[in-house]
A and B are shown apart, each in its own frame.
Chain A
Amino acid sequence: MKFLTTSALALMMATGAMAAESCATGKTLTDGTLTIATGNPAFFPWVLDDAPEAGKGYEAAVAYAIAGKMGFDSDAVTWTRTSFDQSIQPGAKDFDFNLQQFSITAEREEMVDFSDPYYTSAMAVLTTKSVVENGAEPTIASLKDLVWGAHATTTALPMLNELIQPNTAPLLYGDNVDVTAAMQAGQIDAALFDLPTALYLSAVVLNDGVILGQFPAENTPSPDHFGLLMAEGSALKPCVDEAIAALKADGTLAAIEAEWLQETTGVPVIK
């Protein structure tokens, strides 16, 4: 929380003198307020207890950090909730930016704007103990033979086809909970998630959940970059990118990651 206090302090000192020159001035939905959207509900470890206002959880913390860099004090941040579909529907957006692990893809870029990435995730294979006992191994050859599931509206599906190319066509679901339900029902063997989500699901949601292995971002041809989603042609994009660049440069982003995202080096790398 220290960075919040410091940035808030810096901001308070700056407000009077620099308000007129802030990059974001006059570009937000409501003057003097930054409206940030996230998922409904928002999940651990991205947002803790579905309460982004508390600034706890990786994305909640990142959101406040970016807001701070853009010249918005934490009191000047308001939260709203959208589904994926709401975030891409045409018409005026009711948020300045939206963060809920949106993967940046060239095709999506044609419809909406993304900030520079604030996180690049490894992809992880979530499965159950019984599948491992039946001989599943963290090798591509072994993974090909599993029956796969994925959350339909994520980039997990193209990733699956790119990284594993399973022998059976994957089954797709509307949300993470349904994916785990299908796994519990034995209808699928494994599912692909970004690593932090996979860690959460295996630890909390799934009985006998196991992370079989991961595909580190650096080994992936088109890794899963998370970006803030904004309206196509948003004037705010340069300010957001600038803030993210600054957070990267001063190590804040890395610090937030260390604070909220689990250590992932223990997860075997898939060969």
Chain B
Amino acid sequence: MDRLELRNVQKSFGQTQILKGIDLTIEPGQMICLIGASGSGKSTLLRCMNLLEPIDDGAILLDGADISEPDLDPQPIRQRIGMVFQSYNLFPHMTAKENAMLAPRRTKGLSRANLDAPVSELFHRFGLGDRMDHYPDQLSGGQQQRVAIIRALAMKPEIMLFDEITSALDPELVGEVLDVLRALREEGMTMVLATHEMGFARELADKVCFLDQGRICEEGSAAEVLDAPQQERTKAFLSRVL
């Protein structure tokens, strides 16, 4: 397991600066929650960590190596850092199982036969053993999001990034997805979550970072940030969402 370090990460889209210098270290086995209003830069930060967006300035270090080098081939890095999106983004033309097997097949040269056992095991572990051969449009939102997590896990990533993965779900389906995260936490997976689930963050996060206008405005343990915020902006945000 490796640590991920962000140093003064900056990112703009056109004239708008979204990230104005983010410093953050994720230690192996940690779970970090990013909170903040929409537009505060949480999603962009996660996409930069996965190299889906190139950063403008600063550096991202994985196990001490700079992975934000513009010349670097992002493919092997992304294979080590899994990501799950708010809108699931399952491939609609493939069954749940094919969704999970595509990337390991193509990037690691594994055959379907080789993958069948470990992938089926993942589905069973997360309560989807009977849904493997369903297409995404035959699954509920909660099930689809669990498949998306399984798909990312099938690559055996070292770090998992979750971008508001419960925000698009009906309230009664949120629980089943959070249960998956809880299980991963118990296994010691290194995780970074952008989330609005404050209760969940309080329960499990090692560290909570409050992002505001492209900066980490306040960070600390869940108890510190959520229960005794020091910054006025943090207080204002929490009073709106809690």
Direct contact of A and B (CB under 8 A): no
